[in-house]
Amino acid sequence: MQQGGGMEMIFILVVFGLIFYFMIYRPQAKRQKQQRELLAGLSKGDEVLTSGGLIGKISKVTADNDNIVIALNDTTEVTIKRDFVVAVLPKGSLKSL
């Protein structure tokens, strides 16, 4: 029987660690950074899509900067948490719907 397999086991663990880092952790961290930048750049007049499927135009960003008010149409506005915005739509998207 062979007894000196310690270095091979360490090598395999390092390879699996690198695969985990480059295939799972790094892309997820990149997506989170992009989402933080998207949320930080929200301002009045942006057309957004929420995680609940609502599409509207930001009419107000609250003073605590944690909530936003979205105008769904001329008469309906909703207040949501900033974190629920999943995408900023190109200008004029609402008019094309």
Handedness of CA 13, 17, 19, 23 (dihedral sign): positive
CB 70 within 8 A of CB 59: yes
pLDDT the model gives residue 69: 94
d(CA 70, CA 38): 16
pLDDT the model gives residue 47: 94
pLDDT the model gives residue 86: 93
pLDDT digits (tens, 9 = 90+) for 58-97: 999 987 878 999 999 989 999 999 999 999 999 888 888 7
Per the structure block, which two tokens stand in for 77? 């506005």
Domain ranges of the chain: 1-40, 43-89
pLDDT score of 3 more than 80? no
d(CA 77, CA 40): 21
pLDDT confidence of 2, banded at 50, 70, 90?
Answer: low
Given the candidates 3.30.450, 3.40.190, 3.40.50, 2.30.30, the CATH classification of the domain at 43-89 is 2.30.30
